[in-house]
Amino acid sequence: PKAVAAGRTDSGVHASGQVVHFDFMGHIPPKKWASALNGRLPKTIRVLESVEQDLEWHACYDAVYRRYRYTINNSRRSNLFLNPWSWHRYKFRLDENLMRSAMETLKGFHDFSTFQKVGSNRAHAWTTIQEIEIERNGDLIFFEIQASGFLYGMVRLLIGQLVAIGEHRMTLKEFEKNWKDRDRTTIREAAPPQGLCLIRVGYKSNIFSKAASFDTFPKSFINVLDPPINPC
């Protein structure tokens, strides 16, 4: 059967909370599909839970939000165990308070053309950012952004701009003016893909158990760095 995913990610981006649906008529009970598929899938893919839905239900079109997490390793030293899951940004200690202030301006329904990669076939660039937050834990910085939908390359372009603010290469006024004026010429850097992870897809009703829907890529899993670096 043809599988339909809740969202598409760039090459190199991870997904711990991807949702997929397919239509099937047969003798395998819905709850057995997870174990049946895991026995045949490569070790890099695991199905956490399988449930039955109405034939009209759609993994992509019925989603009311998608939530991404981006992880930055702000340590002086690289960490071989974290490199596949984070962006090692080490030259300056990032100012998370400035970045948090910049993020607050993004909430709500806006035209985010500034953060859309060239080549998108989307009809418009309007979407609603529902939640956006930042947390520092030692040398690790976690960004989480939840929206009704995302533009092509949106999160990686946005993170690149926020890092410029955190490194004091861009002011809050410049950032807000640029994205509200839809000025794509200011975008010079996109964050690399490995730090980005689709962690959750939300629907009007709870489809999966909480164990399968939340904390499938917990922050504590990658919180293994040294004490915070000294400010530059």
For the annotated catalytic residues, the residue numbers are: 10
Q: Which of 48, 51, 14, 3 is nearest to 199 (CA)?
A: 14
Give dist(CA 221, CA 203) in Å, integer.
Answer: 26
Q: Which residues contact 61 (CB under 8 A, 6 or more apart)?
A: none
Question: Nearest to residue 63, comparing CAs of 22, 122, 21, 25?
Answer: 21
Measured between alpha carbons, how far is residue 33 from residues 29, 173, 190 in Å? 7, 51, 38
Q: Token pair of 6, please?
A: 């809740």
d(CA 36, CA 64): 29
Question: Hey, is 20 helix, strand or coil?
Answer: strand
Whether the Cβ atoms of residue 167 and residue 125 lie closer than 8 Å to each other: no
Q: Distance of CA 153 to CAs 9, 12, 96, 224, Å? A: 8, 12, 22, 29
Q: What's the one-letter identity of residue 163?
A: V
- CA-only gyration radius of the chain, Å: 19
